[in-house]
Chain A
Amino acid sequence: MRRNVAIIGCGQTKHSSKRRDVNLAEMVSEAVYNALEDAQVSPRDVDAFVVGNMQGFGGIAQPEQWLGDSIGAPGKSVIRIATGGTTGGSVGQGAYYTVASGLHDVAVAVAWEKHSDSKEAGATTGLLHVGLGNFFHAASYGLSLKNLVATSAVGAAAGVAVYQAMFYMYRSGCSIEHFDMVAAKARRNAAKNKYAHLQWPGCTQEDIAKTEMVVYPFRYGHICPASDGASAIVVAEENLARKKARQPAWFKGLAAYSDEENQLQSENFGGVGVLDPSEQKGCWMSATKAYEMAGIKDPKKEIDIAEVYQPFPSQELIFAERLGLFDEGTAWMALEKGETDIDGRMPLDPSGGVNATNAIGSTALQRILECALQIMGKAEEHQVPRKVHNAVAHGWGGVTSYITVTVLGDSPGR
């Protein structure tokens, strides 16, 4: 039988384009020790570490071997998980499994990215690594590597997300102005989150609309930054959780599914696969399963806030629908009415989300961490103005269709 498990402490680094003052191990250690301090747990009390960043990023194949000493891991169980953009979500879920299974009582999940260790701008070096590793098989479908890099990998996830956004616009009837609104909201919310990267107090839809078009339908102001940073959570079994935290954030349900990879923007050279990259069936499946485990029957009513993985603003709308928070094709209408604002009926990404802060390996763990902060009442300036009973954290990655969904609550629910 699985045990009840809760998050009892959260730690992050401040996110920025360049953390040149610390090496990778030191940056990751900052997040871990901040989380341990928040949980009032000594490194000696930790039994296991689940760690991760995006595979191929930073040019270090086994970073956990290097940083173990710096995060208090000597003599402890260490597992590294890498599932692309979802890495942090899988790392958080890995820590849950570690404790829920009864194998360990206290586990730390930590995830990070340090883009500035790459010479090329933004995430290019890392994405080329991952892109090539993942796309090599495409060569056997008759696409030369040069074309592949030009069409898929360069432009990074944007190269994938533009097609996804176009499909969504077509089937939902939303327009580019709605992407302006989501991006403006993300920057406004981020301004209230002291750890966030792109902070723009009072940012408006018009501010974003003024930024240059990069690749249709995305303007410069729509696109997430490449951040250096790390985030960590301390996960504990029920007795310790109740002793250590006034309000633990309980894991109530979780799942991870993928539909068939549509990594070449759904142009699938094998002759099978997903045609609409905004379909994201894996998200619907993960959400359904996670809500079932959490005992949530109507997410529209029972979920109080969501942290949606949205490096591109279209994705906040697409995935909020797939998470069952809005009817198909209607999230942009709720956005127009302000329902997704920090003080709205269904706040989406009160932290600013991935659109404002993107340390890739860490981002999906940050979604879980941010949901925990909202439940624990520790989100400070970006705390939503009502009691949060249930929150849902989403991760998108793999290459482009692996999903993690984690439901946290203010009680274990069973």
Chain B
Amino acid sequence: MKSKSEIVEVKALPFAAGFNWSTGFQMQRFIQELANRKILGAKCPECGYTYVPPRSRCGKCYTKIGEENLINLSGKGTLVGYTTAYVKLDGQGNFQDLEEPGIIGAIKLENADSTIFMPLEGIKPRDVTEGLKVEVQWREETKGELADIRCFKPT
């Protein structure tokens, strides 16, 4: 048992830090276009590497990528990797069992080179394989928010 003189406890911080990060012009367009059920990628004008979500400088060849290099992606893609989760965090630092296991997949959209990570629904974990063809599922009302993309499902 520790005496009071041996410890200093900090239970709560006397302030709350808030942030409002600016997204940059490419991500701003990306988020706005989600309202129109469009997924934008950025195609490097020099080497052709296509990033989704878009960015403004190519990490491969250092070329600047402008708004004019944004392209529409179909929302269809291929599963290149995945995992199955059986628990979630309860917000208090503890694990909680999920009622149904959840699949999270790394998805390469058609005409894109980078991958995005999204929940995969409509398929049992034992049926999932790399190479599975998948398609975006929008939430009922799209508002121009990242949450507009609900999940992906097999085509």
Contact = CB atoms under 8 A, between A and B. Distances in A.
Given A69-B57, A74-B60, A136-B10, A128 B24 contact: no
A125 B14 contact: no
Interface in B43-67: 55-60, 62
A136 B7 CA distance: 12
Contact of A23 (B13, B17, B24, B60): B24
A124 to B, nearest CB: 9
Interface residues of B, number: 22
A125 B18 contact: yes
B59 A74 contact: yes
Nearest to A118: B19
Interface in A48-82: 58-59, 68-72, 74
Contacts of A139: 8, 10
B22 A146 contact: no
Contact of B62 (A20, A43, A58): A43
A301 interface: no
A3 B8 CA distance: 49
Interface in A251-308: none
Contacts of A23: 21-24, 27
A117 B19 contact: yes
A116 interface: yes
Interface string B1-41: 00000001010011101111111110100000000000000
Most buried by A among B8, B15, B19: B15
B114 to A, nearest CB: 11
Contact of A132 (B8, B13, B24, B60): B13
B124 to A, nearest CB: 36
Size category of the binding interface on chain A: 35 or more
A70 B19 contact: no
Interface string A14-31: 000001111111100100
A414 interface: no
A21 B25 contact: yes
Given A21-B25, A23-B27, A139-B8, A70 B18 contact: no
Nearest to A72: B62
Contact of A69 (B13, B15, B55): B55
B62 A145 contact: no
Given A43-B62, A74-B59, A22 B10 contact: no
A120 B18 contact: yes
A258 to B, nearest CB: 25
A117 B20 contact: yes
B31 to A, nearest CB: 12
Contacts of A21: 22, 24-25
Nearest to A139: B8
B9 to A, nearest CB: 9
Contacts of A58: 19, 21
Contacts of B14: 145-146, 149
Contacts of A25: 24, 55, 57
Contacts of B21: 23-24, 58-59, 117
A345 interface: no
B62 A116 contact: no
A129 interface: yes
Contact of B55 (A19, A70, A116, A145): A70
Contacts of A24: 21-22
Contact of A44 (B18, B22, B57, B62): B62
B67 to A, nearest CB: 12
Contact of A22 (B18, B19, B24): B24
Contacts of B25: 21-22, 26
Shortest 8 CB-CB contacts between residues of A and residues of B: A69-B59, A119-B18, A23-B24, A59-B19, A43-B62, A70-B57, A139-B8, A72-B62
10 contacts: A24-B22, A59-B19, A70-B55, A72-B62, A118-B18, A119-B19, A125-B17, A125-B19, A128-B15, A139-B10
Given A21-B24, A59-B17, A129-B17, 17 more contacts: A22-B22, A23-B21, A23-B24, A25-B24, A26-B24, A69-B58, A70-B59, A72-B62, A117-B21, A118-B17, A119-B17, A120-B18, A125-B17, A132-B13, A132-B15, A145-B10, A146-B14
